[in-house]
Amino acid sequence: MRADILVVGGGIGGLTAALALARDGHRVRVLEKAAQFAELGAGLQLAPNATRVLAGLGVLGRVLEAGVRPRRLLLRSALTADELTALDLGEPFLARYGAPYVVMHRSDLLAILYDACLAAGVGLQAGQDVVAVTGDDGAAAAECADGTSYQGAALIAADGLHSGIRALFSADQPVCSGFAAYRGTARIDEVTARSELDEVVAWIGPDLHFVQYPLRAGQIYNQVAVFRSRRYAADPGLADGEWGGPGELDDAFGTCCAQVREATGFLWRDRWWPMYDREPLAGWTRGRIALLGDAAHPMLQYLAQGACQAIEDADALARALAGCPGPQLIGKALAGYQAERAEHAARVQRTARTWGDIWHVSGVGALLRDELFRRRPADDYSYTDWLYGSRVL
């Protein structure tokens, strides 16, 4: 089966790339390993660097209908409940960055992208486990576990943190942070320990944080608790599932303020997620194969940029291929995509780690952090321009 472009992985990054390429006239086929196109997790934050791209793809209207536009991002002390600093997301923010900040359910965004891909003529193949790929000078190809093979002019690997295709570029492995995350959503009227419904709030404290914000036009409430596992710190050889359990969750948040302690009761306690990233990768492209999203640059969640950076990748990829004069120069076009994106994405990866350290510091470090945060005006965007601003001339 042939297409102009093969995309391996049908998550948010893969579908955004497929939509952007299809709108430029490419024939695109997406190969998804799972039996259906679906997203794990719950809440998702979309900063202007992502919503600008979604606006250009014609789906921002549906995103706004399905999501919530918060009034501000707020950091509070998880221990005292004191307000530390905020970022105003109102009109000055919108004027500065040209697009809104939106929070929404991950599955809602995937459904919007899926429908848009269908309407654009993208071939969407679920249940296709890609086990081998090639990208020589003449073509790219993907072979699936069931024996089906696909060919195209280029292959885009958007197969996530545990990407098998990344092994063509590096023998590295995901890096465990030693932090575990618990998530939970509930009807808005069921959650008694919630913050203001027009805010995204992160409660930060020593070795932990707790995030709250509304989803689905304010109908449900999303919460995430993250903490450093003492069990993992004592024995990094433990397998996932052997550390970070509910007992550790309760111990970690036991010293927090009353609202945070109460709010942890609304989390799902039968499952939790160990938090991983990888070291930045110098090269994302090889011949007619390129990495995208978490396959290229998986990052910790502290900047809420994982999906946003994948969406930016998709936009840069489509522009690079739109400027390609012929199939024989696909490799050069993909190298241009890498040149635009790799250095910036690596900076986001590294900064996410640093921002997590800032959130989780204790003692004198926390006192100094809090004093600096309190002095910062809510309309000071100097720290977010590099991340939310446009880098495309």
Residue 37 has pLDDT above 50, yes or no: yes
Structural domains in the chain (count) = 1
Is residue 115 situated within a structural domain? yes
Burial-class residue 209 by CB neighbours within 10 Å (0-12, 13-18, 19+): buried
Q: Span 37-52, mean pLDDT?
A: 91
pLDDT band at 5 (very low <50, low <70, confident <90, very high): very high
Q: What is the pLDDT of residue 393?
A: 38
Token pair of 10 as six digits: 């049908």
Q: What is the pLDDT of residue 1?
A: 43
pLDDT band at 39 (very low <50, low <70, confident <90, very high): confident
Q: What CATH number should be reported for the domain holding residue 298?
A: 3.50.50.60
Distances (CA, A) of 305 to 45, 100, 174, 263, 352: 8, 15, 18, 24, 9
Q: What is the pLDDT of residue 3?
A: 58
pLDDT band at 327 (very low <50, low <70, confident <90, very high): confident
Is residue 342 situated within a structural domain? yes
Q: Note down the domain range covering 63.
A: 5-70+104-172+279-362
The residue behind tokens 């209908």 is 65
- At a CB cut-off of 8 Å and minimum separation 6, what does 171 contact? none
Q: Span 327-355, mean pLDDT?
A: 94
> H or E element: which one contains 134?
strand 130-135
Is residue 57 situated within a structural domain? yes
Is residue 298 situated within a structural domain? yes
Q: What is the pLDDT of residue 217?
A: 87
Q: What is the pLDDT of residue 348?
A: 98
Burial-class residue 119 by CB neighbours within 10 Å (0-12, 13-18, 19+): exposed
Mean per-residue pLDDT over the chain, rounded: 95
- At a CB cut-off of 8 Å and minimum separation 6, what does 146 contact? 127, 128, 129
Buried/exposed code over 343-375 (b: 16+ C-beta within 10 A; e: otherwise): ebbbebbebbeebbeebbbeeeebeebbeebee
Is residue 63 situated within a structural domain? yes
Residue 220 has pLDDT above 80, yes or no: yes
pLDDT above 90 as % of the chain: 90
Is residue 212 situated within a structural domain? no
Q: Which of 97, 114, 213, 337 is catalytic?
A: 213
Token pair of 1 as six digits: 């089966």
Q: Span 346-365, mean pLDDT?
A: 98
Q: pLDDT digits over 76-88, tens only?
A: 999 999 999 999 9
Q: What is the pLDDT of residue 210?
A: 98
Q: Span 100-120, mean pLDDT?
A: 97
0.85 surpassed by pTM: yes
Task: Tell me, letter by letter, the H, E, C secondary structure of 71-91.
Answer: CEEEEEECCCCCEEEEEECCH
Is residue 241 situated within a structural domain? no
Residue 221 has pLDDT above 60, yes or no: yes
Q: What is the pLDDT of residue 112?
A: 98
Is residue 13 situated within a structural domain? yes
What's the rounded Cα separation, in Å, for the pair 42 and 105? 5
Going by C-alpha positions, the residue among 199, 186, 247 that lies closest to residue 69 is 199
Instruction: Judge whether 182 counts as a catalytic residue.
Output: no
